[in-house]
Amino acid sequence: MDGIAAITSRMAEIRSTLATLQPARASSSAATLALRPSSSGTATASGTASGPDFASALAAEIGTTTAAPAATSTGPLPAVPGLTPEQVGNARAVVAAGRAMGLSLRDAAIGVMTAMGESSLRVLDHGDTAGPDSRGLFQQRDNGAWGTLADRMDPTRSATSFFTALARVGDRGSMAPTLVAHTVQRNADPNHYTRYWEQAVDVVSRLTGATAAQVTAR
């Protein structure tokens, strides 16, 4: 509810700004505002501001926000022992998705660890015997909780879905990383991800320039 209230407040500010601008400048000026959509769902707008102008400004801001993770996922990839450029690139997409949501480096490392344990950091187009409909980096099931097939096969969108669920684990700072991952993924073995933690921390450290201590800080 706090996220929805924040969006409602921000919309009111946008309407006020648009009301002081010429119509010809409204859509371009409003695109510079800093609205952040709620991760909990969608919100509807109401009020007296011009409908088309307000909708255009809002769409422009959401479009800018959605594009942010891609902007942080460019540039040379660091060399990581034991991983291919494809795997490192997928890890970088996971880290960028977590950071774009304001999550910690530890959370980002948990995401990388989970993708290592689920797919070896590869976008898989198949599942296994336990989950034949599982797909993507996180082997997300076709149960409606993880979006469309295209969402599950996209590194950034599938990671965002994973982190959205992870962010609801309120006491994760006091939990072992593998148990945080298990809470989201519901793997048959809660300790399945433990073996990947040290490498995940190393990958996040190489991708961000942070020390291992900074990555693992609770």
Q: pLDDT digits over 133-167, tens only?
A: 999 999 999 999 999 999 999 999 999 999 999 99
pLDDT in tens, 56-110: 443 344 343 333 333 345 789 999 999 999 999 999 999 999 999 999 999 999 9
Band the pLDDT of 20: cuts 50, 70, 90. very low
Q: Long-range contacts: 191-197, Cβ < 8 Å, 24+?
A: 192/117, 193/113, 193/114, 193/116, 193/117, 195/117, 196/113, 196/116, 196/117, 197/109, 197/113
Q: Which residue has the tokens 């505002």?
A: 33
User: Which pLDDT does position 169 carry in this prediction?
Assistant: 97
pTM of the model: 0.68
Average pLDDT over residues 18-35: 38
Band the pLDDT of 13: cuts 50, 70, 90. low
Q: Which residue has the tokens 């684990």?
A: 169
pLDDT cut 70: percent of the chain above it: 67
Average pLDDT over residues 115-126: 98
User: Which pLDDT does position 15 carry in this prediction?
Assistant: 55
Residue ranges of the domains in the chain?
2-71, 85-216
User: Which pLDDT does position 130 carry in this prediction?
Assistant: 84
Band the pLDDT of 23: cuts 50, 70, 90. very low
Alpha helices (H) along the chain: 2-19, 23-30, 51-71, 85-100, 105-119, 149-153, 155-166, 177-185, 197-208, 212-216
